[in-house]
Structure 1
Amino acid sequence: MGTTNEPCIICDDIAIQRGDTTIWSHGTFTIPRGTVTAIVGTNGAGKTTLLQAELGLIPLSHGTMTVLGGAPGTTNGRIGYVPQSYTSEIDSSLTAEQSVLLGLTGTRFGFHLVSRAQRSKALEAMEFIGISDKAHLRLSELSGGLRQRVAIAQALVSDPELLMLDEPLANLDLASQRTTVHILRKLNRELGMTIQVVAHDLNMLLPILTGAVYLLDGHPHYARLNEVLDSKLLTHLYGTEVQVVTTPQGDMFVMPGLDDLDPGIRDMHDTRELARSHQHAKHTTTHHTHTQTGR
């Protein structure tokens, strides 16, 4: 892991353009190392585009960006990336171990012998993620949640300083979402890994987030999480009324506004009931937060 105090990402007036269309512009912000950052915005706002720009896959149309101290694309060997399409694009006939090894061998897989050191590294990554007992199973035999953990292990096997994940909780059941968040917390706290997560719904991620890049009105901004959890900002961001509610226990919830709903279809809960339903995150922070925003 990196030990420098240099920021992970530095953006100075960056913009992305495709054809004659500007995706977003005037992005000036810094993301510190050792943080867990969500990238949020409405569909089509350019969340994945930001990750692709950081990886050097899409050129900036304006401004400058530094990633781990270098230009985008020059430091990718120190970055782990989990695409949203991983579970559908990876060859399901591969075993979990073979899939994780791809993080070390890349396109050379199948043409070169895998060394003992590489197998040891893959096993170490799978043990950290908690799937070493699934090493021999084919991806087709694994649940969506387990395949997602294989994808994270594949990104982890090269010891990255920065881990990027595109919608890692999408299409997972509640238990798998919680397991994934637990793994990300472990990577951040035990290894000091900087993590970026593209997310549409922040619900499960809030206990581990430190900040967010939010794409608003065609411009990317970065702020600490307590600054992002603002009713007016979130209402503007999601294009629908959003309420931020704090319970007597210190739990914070971000919920869709209910003013326009028929009273007969409201699903109202006592704040104590809401707090009890979120006790799974109590051990992560003293005053933690949760959101429930419409997809």
Structure 2
Amino acid sequence: MIKCDNLVLGYNNQAITTKINLMIPDNKWIGIIGKNGTGKSTFLKSILGNIPILEGQLQIFGAKVGSYNKYISYIPQEREINLTDKMNGFSLIESSYEGWRLGIPFVNSKVRKRVAELIELVGATDYAMRPFCTLSGGQKKRIYLAQALINQPKLILLDEPLADLDPHAKQHFIQALQKIHQTQHLGLLIISHDMHE
């Protein structure tokens, strides 16, 4: 799934990482733990093709990083999106369906069924139809998790997904991740600064 050979990342020919060598197999749940400022988020962004590779190679699903990869979904640590006051979680997930990007102007019953299934999978059924702006941080993160699944990725990247969540919300989010990993046959790559998470 992910293979790094002597990978060095940086900007303006200035390295910001040492050489990274690792291989992450398909469909695994992997955590990368380290202090803030050690390059964890930088590594995730390199997988997305957003950080220049100065040396070495990075391959995702057997191909070099670069163009848009439909097999990867990304949930950043902080996310600000501008929605109308009335837009709910269901509509947010629905709007992420790949067909919209391909110029298909409608969402059919098959897509709506998929959205409903994902909402149930992440445990967001009780509040998915509420205005998104009224949801708690933990509820929003579960909607984002369902959104990340809509186009059936092979890998989800999660940057500090438990940050700023209370213990109850953390527990629910972890349970949702466990269920996803067991049922969706995909990989999860999670970074955190807290080894107890």
TM, length-normalised to structure 1: 0.61
**Superposed counterparts of 1:1-295, under 5 Å:** 8-74=1-67, 76-86=69-79, 88-91=80-83, 93=85, 94-105=87-98, 112-204=105-197
- CA–CA distance in structure 2, aligned partners of residues 31 and 100 of structure 1: 28
AA in 1 matched with 2:81: E
8 A contact 1:68–1:75 mirrored in 2: no
**CA, structure 1 residues 163+90, in 2 after alignment: closer, same or farther (shift >3 Å)?**
farther
Deviation at 1:43, TM superposition (A): 1.7
Aligned twin of 1:260: none
Which protein is bigger by CA-based radius of gyration? Answer: 1
- CA–CA distance in structure 1, aligned partners of residues 44 and 105 of structure 2: 31
- CA–CA distance in structure 1, aligned partners of residues 47 and 109 of structure 2: 33
8 A contact 2:11–2:52 mirrored in 1: no
SS of the aligned residue for 1:61 comes to strand
Listed one character per residue, the Cα deviations across residues 206-261 of structure 1 (whole Å, up to 9, x for unaligned) are xxxxxxxxxxxxxxxxxxxxxxxxxxxxxxxxxxxxxxxxxxxxxxxxxxxxxxxx
TM, length-normalised to structure 2: 0.90
Alignment root-mean-square deviation, CA: 2.3
AA in 1 matched with 2:122: I
Bigger relative contact order, structure 1 or 2 (CA pairs below 8 A, ≥6 apart): 2
**CA, structure 1 residues 9+199, in 2 after alignment: closer, same or farther (shift >3 Å)?**
same
Alignment gaps of 5+ in structure 2:
none
Q: How many residues align?
A: 196
- CA–CA distance in structure 2, aligned partners of residues 171 and 201 of structure 1: 12
8 A contact 2:74–2:158 mirrored in 1: yes
8 A contact 1:131–1:150 mirrored in 2: yes
Alignment gaps of 5+ in structure 1:
1-7, 205-295
**CA, structure 1 residues 21+70, in 2 after alignment: closer, same or farther (shift >3 Å)?**
same
**CA, structure 1 residues 47+80, in 2 after alignment: closer, same or farther (shift >3 Å)?**
same
AA in 2 matched with 1:183: A
